[in-house]
């Protein structure tokens, strides 16, 4: 069965390259919007970018999710809790913050982190 001429291989390839470039740009913009320090100024040593939930992306849901993270003295996150934000985005934000590493400190602490979800345009 012949292909329609409007979907030639070169056109599909161009579309795929443009989509990949737009996704890379959106990922960089999203990573740049993440905080470098938590609200109480405990430095973040390693952070994980949250995965934008596909349903939220399709529905153009965006916004800030505020997470309270309990950080152990060694800098690992032991617990997370959503304080505010859209529930469609909250689980992805909590999962990502739970994988973060903070600077060591003498005591356990609780920090607040804002995760900004912005849709790709």
- 3-class secondary-structure state, position 34: coil
d(CA 114, CA 54): 20
CATH architecture of 34-117: 2-Layer Sandwich (3.30)
Q: How confident is the model at residue 118 (pLDDT cuts 50, 70, 90)?
A: confident
Q: Which tens digit of pLDDT belongs to each residue from 15-51?
A: 666 665 555 545 544 554 454 444 457 899 999 999 9
Report the percentage of the chain scoring pLDDT > 90.
56
Residue 78 to residues 44, 110, 112: CA-CA distances in angstroms? 15, 10, 14
Task: Give me the phi and psi of 111, to 5 degrees please.
Answer: -120, 150
Distance CA 3, CA 15 (A): 17
Give the per-residue pLDDT at 37. 43
Q: Is the pLDDT of residue 57 over 50?
A: yes
């Amino acid at each position: 069965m012949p292909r329609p001429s409007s979907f030639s291989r070169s056109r599909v390839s161009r579309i795929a390259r443009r989509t990949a470039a737009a996704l890379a740009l959106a990922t960089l913009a999203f990573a740049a919007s993440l905080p470098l320090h938590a609200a109480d100024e405990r430095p973040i040593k390693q952070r994980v970018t949250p995965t934008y939930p596909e349903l939220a992306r399709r529905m153009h849901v965006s916004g800030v999710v505020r997470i309270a993270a309990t950080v152990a003295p060694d800098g690992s996150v032991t617990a997370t809790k959503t304080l505010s934000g859209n529930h469609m985005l909250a689980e992805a934000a909590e999962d990502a913050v739970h994988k973060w590493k903070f600077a060591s400190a003498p005591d356990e602490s609780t920090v607040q982190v804002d995760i900004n979800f912005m849709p790709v345009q």
